[in-house]
């Protein structure tokens, strides 16, 4: 099996490969010299394209605005196994997390308590 010798990656090819910048000097005889490179393309004026109004920052801000969260405190509660099983079933049926359900139930119970 004959292996072809690999061509070394010259400076200009390496520069182009790594940085996407083309060097002006040729690497091998197949490339054109820098003096014969074609001129850059002429930019054509863009036709009148209707532009959409940019959304205002306030519109975007209101879309992604989140309510300031209150600091949380971890609270551990020991539940009877049967109560935990029922809570798990309720969470599965509603698609909510158990913690969300417990928070909702506590919120309902504690809404009349004055701070």
Q: Looking at the predicted structure, is the pLDDT value of residue 105 above 70?
A: yes
For 28-79, how does the pLDDT look when each residue is reduced to its tens digit (9 = 90+)? 545 545 556 666 776 766 666 666 666 555 666 676 777 778 888 999 999 9
What's the rounded Cα separation, in Å, for the pair 104 and 82? 20
Quick one: pLDDT band at residue 114, thresholds 50, 70, 90?
A: confident
Q: Looking at the predicted structure, is the pLDDT value of residue 7 above 70?
A: no
| Torsion angles phi and psi, residue 7, rounded to 5 | -80, 140
Contact indicator for 26, 33 with CB cutoff of 8 Å: yes
Query: Which three-class secondary structure state does DSSP give residue 10?
Result: coil
What are the structural domain ranges in the chain?
Answer: 77-115
Tokens of 100: 């969300």
**Is the model more confident about 95 or about 54?**
95
Cα three-residue angle 104-89-102, rounded to 5 degrees = 20
User: Which pLDDT value is given to residue 92?
Assistant: 96
| Residue 29 DSSP one-character state | T
């Amino acid at each position: 099996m004959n292996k072809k010798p690999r061509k070394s990656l010259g400076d200009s090819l390496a520069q182009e490969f790594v940085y996407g910048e083309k060097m002006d000097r040729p690497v091998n005889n197949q490339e054109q010299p820098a003096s014969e490179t074609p001129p850059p393309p002429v930019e054509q004026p863009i036709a009148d394209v209707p532009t959409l109004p940019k959304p205002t920052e306030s519109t975007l801000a209101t879309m992604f605005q989140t309510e300031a969260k209150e600091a949380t405190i971890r609270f551990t509660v020991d539940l009877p196994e049967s109560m935990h099983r029922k809570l798990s079933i309720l969470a599965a049926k509603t698609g909510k997390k158990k913690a969300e359900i417990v928070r909702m139930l506590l919120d309902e119970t504690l809404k009349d308590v004055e701070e």
